[in-house]
Amino acid sequence: MKHDAVDTWIDGHRPRVLMAVPLYPFPVLGGLERQAHLLSVALLRQNVDVAVLSRKTRRSQPSRESVEGVPVTRMPHVASKTAAFLQSPLFVTLHLFRYANRYDVIHLHNVSWFGLWVILVAKLVRKPVLAKLPNVREWGLPALASGRLGPIKQMIFLSSDAIVAMSKESVAELSRAGYPPARTLEVTNGVEIDKSAEREPNMSGRIVVLFAGRLSPEKGVLDLLHAWQSVVCRVAGRDVVLRICGSGPQGDQISVLIAQLGLERSVEQMGHVADMPRALKNADIFVLPSYGEGNSNAILEAMAAGLPIVTTPVGGSPLLVGGAGERWLHAPGDRAGLADRLVALVNDDTARVALGEAMRARASLFDIDAVARRYLRAYQLLAQGQRHLVGSISASISHDQADADLCAD
């Protein structure tokens, strides 16, 4: 594996990183926000000073708080979108200028206007920015470029000192946009690994298939329901249930479709689930028929819980599940293929358990502490003005490269 190790931090002090995350948990527990929090906590364990700049999701949220040891500062809550749009530049500017001496690098986790303004102000205070490209296709860089003021937004985003790409699709999007490969950090998301936990065998006889994610079109929940209608008919004699965990704009549409397809007895809408580890522990199969992903935190957490994964080959998902999970991938929108894979796992107890064990073993490749160490090396290079070396410490995120290189030191 190639990388140029950096052993000393600038000026000899502890690394200091500002995380810019528009919505930061708690209570926000989306994949992007959850990964930012996991990384922040992992960096704290490695003696890094981490702070977060975010926005309030509701008026009652504190302006300042510590979340599992991570100090968070939030801009005031305003109900009007126009007012919020105007407020963000002022708040970000004042905060970054006031506390510029408290951090060395800014890690941006989103490409919203909030994030773009962070990039612009960072240049004024002369702080390097590592920006994350969180998704691909129509939810990735092409979407940023094609929307309102797209060329300007893309230009600002690409002015980041380095950009994180979590899949080869993201790497290709950045390359097509002319971004230098030497400043592209290829690294996956990470997951906390509980090496002491053992998955208990399912003795109830009921097979629980679990979906977790935002209820929005790109997650393919409508495809899942149509496929599930076929699954229920083809596994007669097996007690099966589909649990849909999450909330979002398609919530009502999903409820209506469940009734139209006659699936009320075999589908449970769980809404927002605060204790996902317990939900995963009580499931037997994880399904995510998504049309676009960067690196799915939901897949990583399901793998760490020892669940077999049925998903689509988009973004970094093929890399996450590896060779053992390749057979269980289906094309986005392929409802028949999705149903076939679910039926096969429901009916074959041995295959289901074996695939779950393989996923649990593979999850260790994406240990969040190893991911944090790679980020730390990137921060060091950026703080020392060596952004042209960031690409040299990339992990292997190509599906056909050696698994042993993934997220390794």
Same domain, 292 and 167: no
Same domain, 45 and 161: yes
What would the pLDDT profile of 121-155 be if each residue is shown by its tens digit? 999 999 999 999 887 777 778 878 787 788 899 99
pLDDT at 11 over 80: no
What would the pLDDT profile of 31-86 be if each residue is shown by its tens digit? 788 899 999 999 999 999 999 999 888 888 899 999 999 999 999 888 787 877 78
Same domain, 259 and 271: yes
Residue 3 inside a domain? The answer is: no
pLDDT bucket at 10, cuts 50 / 70 / 90 = low
Same domain, 40 and 152: yes
H or E stretch covering 341 = helix 335-347
User: What is the chain's percent helix, strand, coil content, to nearest 5?
Assistant: 45, 15, 35
Q: What pLDDT shows up at residue 87?
A: 83
Same domain, 157 and 217: no
Cα angle 60-64-66, degrees, rounded to a multiple of 5: 110
222: buried, middle or exposed (CB in 10 Å: 19+, 13-18, 0-12)?
A: middle
Same domain, 81 and 171: yes
Residue 197 inside a domain? The answer is: no
Same domain, 114 and 226: no
Range of the domain at 134: 10-190+368-405
Same domain, 272 and 343: yes
Same domain, 322 and 400: no
CATH number at residue 256: 3.40.50.2000
Residue 118: HSE in the Cβ half-sphere, 13 Å Cα cutoff: 28
- Give the total number of structural domains in the chain: 2
